[in-house]
Amino acid sequence: MIQARWWTSESDGDITCHLCPHTCRIADGKSGRCRARSNRKGVLYADTYGRTVTVNVDPIEKKPLYHFLPASDILSIGHNSCNLSCRFCQNASISQETVNTSPIPTDKIPGLCRRYSAKSVAFTYTEPVTGLEWVIDVAKVLKDEGIRTVLVTNGYVNPEPLQEAIPFIDAMNIDLKAFTEDFYKSVCGATLQPVLETIRLAVEHCHVELTTLLVTGENDSEAEIRALVDFVADLNPDIPLHFSRYFPQYRMPNPPTPPETLSMARDIARNRMRYVYIGNISIPGGADTVCPQCGNLLVTRSGYSTRIVGLKASTCARCGMSIPGVWDV
């Protein structure tokens, strides 16, 4: 635990946290909505600093990141917090409930990467932005060691803290959970606009991929998918966009996403986007990267097995088109 940043004191001893758009007002002895930041006698503390609920080595495709160090392993760590309350959360036992955590010294993380041949570190599983002080400190150490830092995030963070962090972040997968304020409010306990602001800011500074979990009957209408795709395509049609299959989890009983819905979303997106993927389901070609110019197969993916077959450095081996991403091949 360390003293937190991004807060102000109120005259009655309360603290207002400015890290994310919830702007929690926190009384002495209480925590904010994310449970990661507490007021102790008028000082805000980052309670999850340097503590994890889980540490794993994952294929980077699991984040998902498809255009960033493909076929590499990524050290994945998560702290015990989230500032959203998605009814379909797939990690609710560690994001929504308080559980035991273990310390992991910042200066030991590069050694772990070397031991497991991980080229990068992901803050993932839960919500990294609620522990942004630690993210920044770890990312600074990693940068000195030539190791990349990745955030897998809901994007619900205020611009000022994000701007401080982003020079140290190499890649982000941001959940764009839906394209209506109603969904964000009723299903996630948040709002859409700050997430869009995060995406706009992030794409200017680091590699970004986006993921939308299509929840049956909630965010899967053709009109909503078109609106979401238009937003992303207007920003940059080269942003890799992942549509992911939902399964009933936590407090969401709706049936799994029908495969036809995922295909429909992919077809809509491909009209305006160059790199569209389908995840959490095996659909032939759904996870492959194909050259948008000549149709050459560039990267094949099956489960978490990835093969680079048509890339030469960062270009299509057949037609020479430059393929956006960090390929290191």
Please tell me whether residue 37 binds ligand SF4 under the rule CB under 6 A.
yes
What residues form DSSP beta bridges with 306? 301
Smallest separation, CB 322 to ligand SF4 (Å) = 38
Chain residue at closest Cβ approach to ligand SF4: 32
- Rounded least distance, CB 126 to ligand SF4, Å: 12
Residue 89 in contact with ligand SF4, rule: CB under 6 A = no
Q: Is 232 in the site for ligand SF4 (CB under 6 A)?
A: no
33 is a site residue for ligand SF4 (CB under 6 A) = yes
Q: H helices of the chain, where? A: 92-95, 109-115, 132-144, 159-165, 181-183, 192-203, 222-235, 259-270
Q: Which is nearer to ligand SF4, 17 or 262 (CB)?
A: 17
Output the smallest distance, CB 23 to ligand SF4, in A: 5
Answer yes or no: are the C-beta atoms of 283 and 244 closer than 8 Å.
no
Cβ proximity to ligand SF4, 81 vs 216, nearer residue: 81
Could you say which residues in the range 7-26 bind ligand SF4, by CB under 6 A?
17, 19-20, 22-24
| Of positions 80, 83, 153, 261, contacts ligand SF4 by CB under 6 A | 83
The sign one gets for the Cα dihedral 315, 321, 323, 324 is positive
Residue with tokens 């999850």: 48
| Window 111 to 130, contacts with ligand SF4 (CB under 6 A) | 130
Nearer to ligand SF4, 64 or 128 (CB): 128
CB of 129 to ligand SF4, least distance (A): 7
In the bound complex, what is the minimum distance in angstroms from residue 199's beta carbon to ligand SF4? 18
Nearest-angstrom CA–CA distance, 99 and 81: 10
> Applying CB under 6 A, does 79 fall inside the site for ligand SF4?
no
Q: Do residues 243 and 266 touch, judged by C-beta distance below 8 A?
A: yes
Per-residue burial over 101-127, b if 16 or more Cβ lie within 10 Å, else e, is beebeeeebbeebeeeebbbbbbbbbb
Tokens, residue 310: 């048509």
- Site map for ligand SF4, 127-146, x if CB under 6 A? ---x----------------
Instruction: Give 128 or 279: the residue with its C-beta nearer to ligand SF4.
Output: 128
Strand pairing class (73-78; 311-312) = unpaired
| Window of 30-38, 111-119, 144-152, 254-262 that interacts with ligand SF4 by CB under 6 A | 30-38
Nearer residue to ligand SF4 within complex by CB, 49 or 277: 49
Helices 222-235, 192-203: axis angle to 10 degrees equals: 30
Within 10 angstroms of residue 146's Cβ, the number of other Cβ atoms is 9
Which residues on neighbouring strands pair with residue 76, listed in sequence order?
56, 122
DSSP characters for 57-106?
EEEGGGTT-SSBSTT-EEEEEE-S--S---TT-SSHHHHTS----EE--G
For residue 326, which phi and psi values (nearest 5 degrees)? -115, 95
Q: How far is the CB of 165 from ligand SF4 (least distance, A)?
A: 13
> Where along the sequence are the contacts to ligand SF4 (CB under 6 A)?
17, 19-20, 22-24, 32-34, 36-37, 83, 130
